[in-house]
Structure formats: structure tokens, C-alpha cells
Amino acid sequence: MHCFKSLENLKSAYIERIHQVSDERRSGKKSVGTFCLFVPDEIIFAAGADRMILCGGKNDTISIAEQYLPRNICPLVKSSFGSIVNDGCSGVKSCSHFSMVDMIVAENTCDSKKKMYELLDNYVPTYVIDLPQRPDTPEALKYFVTELDKFRDAMEQLTGNKVTNERLRQEIISSNETRKLLHSLYELRKRDPSPISGVDMLKILQKQYFLSPGELKEHLRMLISEVESVEPEGAHRPRIMISGCPMPGGNTKVPEIIEDKGGVIVVEESCTGTRSFWDMVDEDKEPMLALAERYIEIPCSCMSPNDRRIDNILELARDFKVDGVVYYTLQFCHGYNIEKYKVQQALKKAGIPMLFVETDYSNSDVEQIGLRVDAFMEMLS
């Protein structure tokens, strides 16, 4: 497929970002590490702190984590924990940004992350936002508002800056701009053939919470302008939605297999996909309430009921003219694994084929997944 210069530029962005945060910290600016979409960036930025995502996508730090954590939990949790515990990076490469945060802002989402955060606090001060597990009651919203209020206070204490409503409003507008850019990019993927591959999209999606908002927007604008100018070429390839667990930086295994086998991913229903940017924050409401309302509705499987996710999947499948869905989960992710049943039933009813892939970060199952994806593509062609 087409080769995008703006994605090539991303390669150097990692090192540049490291230097940037390093300089910021020397000048007294605080840096916060997050793991999850449920932590509103707007509050962090409004407090004048920077933010980097700490979700691990690499296999090489997992063995470090397994000295502390059970083997049979999800690779994302183990990889992240291993990267942080391995602070100095001795023996394992490319984990440098994991040691560059003054505070971790965690959230009670799934069992493994929740309990992992307790251990993490021994290495980096870890602030935990409690999250109601219901997205649909006024009481849950109220509780979430109070939790976000406390988080705002904690950020004020960390940075020494006041988080004013005006600052929050500015950050909400800025984040909505990013969301709109991502919507524009996704809009282009509705073309057939899609002008950009899923593997390419993942490159920028994985940097979404790593880059500064300004840099991200710049990269997105460049990419949109490049993708817009791509001339449609080639035959129709099966248009795939990938739905389920996130794919943090370092993990591109399954998208690569799907596109090697002749499919093209046109939409990702995941935290490294639509869940991160789909909904806007209301710019006209009281900011803290607007943030709580928007974030509590993220259709993560940690929420119950989560019918909004099913509806969203069906809507995306229709809008992006999806031929088939690869339901992707990380091993031992109970939430997305159990929710598979409901998604499968809904897709069956809508006549959309689905392939289930449960995997980890190792390469041991690449051949086996390849064979299964191959058969799925044959069926869709």
C-alpha cells in the first residue's frame, strides 16, 4: 500500500518526545503516566503537567514481571509492570519513557490492573481513580464526578497549579480538536479500497497518548492531507474490523497477520481505536460534569451493562462497510473474553462473520493464527 511520509516521521518522534519530557522535567514541569482512557487528559494538561501512556506492548519485559505477578494474567499488564520495575532498563532495551514520570494516575477498571497498581506504588507514587462499574445511573455519574474532583485536587497538589474551569475548557476544546482529526482520518477509511492500511493506522494510534497534544495534531493533519490525496488502487480486499483489547506500542502482531493474508483493517473498535476518540466532551457544560459524562460512557468491557459497545460495533460495521470482524483479545482478559458471547450473537444476527483470536505478545502462535486468518479471508473473498 501507499507509504506515508508523516508515518515515517513518527519514527524519530519517540526520541524527540523523550528529550522534550526530559527537558520539561528539568525545568520543573511534572510528568504523569497513565494506563487507560478513563483518565481524562484534560485535567492533567489543565494542571500544567505532561502525560505519557505506560501501557506495555512488548514481550521482553514480561519475564521480569512474572517474578511478581502470576503468569496467567494478561500480557499488557505484565509487560507494563515489567517495564516500570525494570526502571533502569538494564538488559532490556527501549523502555526508557517508563521511568520518566513523577506520578502514575491509575484507575480501577479490570481485576489485573487494579491489583497490579497496588504493587506499582512501591516503584512510582500511584494515584488511583475509583471508577463506578455502571455507565448508566445518575448515582454512578455522581460518584465519578467526586472521584474526578479528587483527582483534580491531586493534580493541583502535584503541580502547584490551580486547575481553573477556564483552563479545563481550553483543554476540552483542544482534546475535541484531536478527536475531530481522528474522525476525519477514519472518515477517509470508509472509501473502498481504503487508502490506508490498519498497520499504518496503528502506528499513529499507538502514539496517541504518548505524543504531546500539539505534536499529535500536527502528525494527524499531515497524515490526513497525505491520505486524502491517495488515488484508489487495487482490487477489493476483505474489509476487516478488529474489535476487543487494545494494542499498545510494540504489539502489531495480529493486524500484520490480517493484512499479510489479504485483508485490510478499516476500523478498530478498541482503546487503540474508536473508543479513545469517538465521543466529544460537551464544551458548553460545566467542565468537570462534562468530562465525567463523556468518560463514564467509554464502552469498555469493565462496564456493566455494556450494550452501548454492541450497538457501536454494529454501527461501525455498517458505516465502514465491514466484511468481517476479528474479535481480538489478550489472553486471560476476562472482560473482553466473556463479552465475546454477546458480540458474537449480535454479529450473527446482523449476518457479519466473526473470527475469534485470543493471543499474547509472544510469536509462538503466529503460524497458527495465520492459518486461521487465512481461512477466514478465503471465506470472506
Residues that bind its own copies (CB under 8 A): 68-70, 72-73, 108, 110-112, 114-119, 128, 130-134, 137, 139-140, 142-143, 146-147, 150, 301-302, 304-306, 331-332, 334-335, 337-342, 358
Smaller CB separation from its own copies, 245 or 377: 245
d(CA 232, CA 191): 8
Instruction: Dump the DSSP string for 102-115.
Output: SEEEEE--SHHHHH
Q: Which residues contact 264 (CB under 8 A, 6 or more apart)?
A: 193, 194, 197, 198, 237, 238, 239, 240
Q: How far apart are CA 210 and CA 50, in angstroms?
A: 10
Looking from the CA of 305 toward its CB, the CA atoms found within 13 Å total 8
* H or E stretch covering 219: helix 213-228
Give the shortest CB-32-to-its own copies separation in angstroms. 19
For its own copies, give the closer residue by CB, 126 or 178: 126
CB of 78 to its own copies, least distance (A): 11
Measured CA to CA, the distance from residue 276 to residue 37 in angstroms comes to 6
Q: Report the residue number, 230 or 314, with the smaller CB distance to its own copies.
A: 314
Q: How far is the CB of 186 from its own copies (least distance, A)?
A: 28
> Given the complex with its own copies, which of 22 and 137 has the nearer CB atom?
137
Residue number with CB closer to its own copies (64 or 185): 64
What is the closest distance, in whole angstroms, from the C-beta atom of residue 142 to its own copies in the complex?
8
Minimal distance in Å, beta carbon 110 to its own copies?
5
Query: Can you list the pairs that 362-368 forms with residues at least 24 positions away whose Cβ atoms lie under 8 Å?
Result: 362/59, 363/59, 363/253, 366/253, 366/257
Amino acid letter, 165: N
Nearer Cβ to its own copies (144/320): 144
Q: How far is the CB of 108 from its own copies (least distance, A)?
A: 4
